[in-house]
Amino acid sequence: MRFGLFGRNRGIGGQPRARMSWKMRLIPLMLFAIYGLYFYVSNQETVPLTGRSQLVDITHEQEMALGLQSYQEILRQSEVIPEGQVVDLVRTIGRRLANAAADVDPGFEWEFNVIDSQQANAFALPGGKTAVYTGLIPVAENQSGLAVVMGHEIAHAIARHGAERMAHQKLVQMGTIAATVAVGDMDYDTQRMVMGALGVGAQYG
């Protein structure tokens, strides 16, 4: 037997619960639409590298604090190489990239580390907290290749793409909650149909 998102559609004493009218269902959706529009419009800023508008709802300081927290956690869980030829190379390239980005980075406190791992990867977190995995070195082939990858990751951090993703996720979560409230008293199959039409059905499969 299928249940709704909130269990059986029964009221007090096991009696079928009264269904909301379509007008009542529209209330949470309308409230979300109004607040969602306000949230979107009031949290726009311009990307310094491209001039593109983006949705960001946290300050640079908050974002950098989150970046530092994540960076420290990653380093604690990883095997960081303290010194050596690869470390010197990564930090030399990193300093050059940081100097080139000085006019657009929002007060980043740059840090470059090398993690011993077979992953062919690198990342740059808000605040300039950057790491390169040793598995990337042979794939990059040379200093220019490594600089391209590191520069790409640093550009993501400067453009605040992480904060932008977080803001979009908040908007999606608010919409999902509003839709869930609107269909909460429907039978399971109808819920799936409506949530699927709204683009969030996969969360309730």
In a domain, 39, yes or no: no
In a domain, 5, yes or no: no
Same domain as 175, residue 155: no
Residue of 53, 170, 65, 48 lying closest to 125 (CA atoms) = 65
In a domain, 124, yes or no: yes
Count of structural domains, the chain? 2
Long-range Cβ pairs for the range 143-147 (8 Å, 24+): 143/89, 143/93, 146/89, 146/90, 146/93, 147/93, 147/96, 147/97
Q: What is the pLDDT of residues 62-86, one digit of tens each?
A: 888 999 999 999 999 999 999 999 9
According to the model, what pLDDT value does residue 1 have? 44
How far apart CA 202 and CA 182 sit, in angstroms, is 17
In a domain, 175, yes or no: yes
Look-up of token digits 């990867």? 121
Question: For the chain, first and last CA: distance in Å?
Answer: 15
Same domain as 149, residue 126: yes
Which residues contact residue 104 at a Cβ distance below 8 angstroms, ignoring those fewer than 6 apart?
48, 49, 158
Asked if the model's pLDDT at residue 160 lies above 90, the reply is no
Backbone angles phi, psi at 9, to 5 degrees: -85, 65
Which residues contact residue 124 at a Cβ distance below 8 angstroms, ignoring those fewer than 6 apart?
130, 150, 153, 154, 156, 157
Same domain as 123, residue 188: no
Same domain as 189, residue 129: no
In a domain, 77, yes or no: yes
In a domain, 44, yes or no: no
Same domain as 147, residue 73: yes
Q: What is the pLDDT of residues 109-141, one digit of tens each?
A: 999 999 999 999 999 999 999 999 999 999 998
For 153, the domain range is 61-159
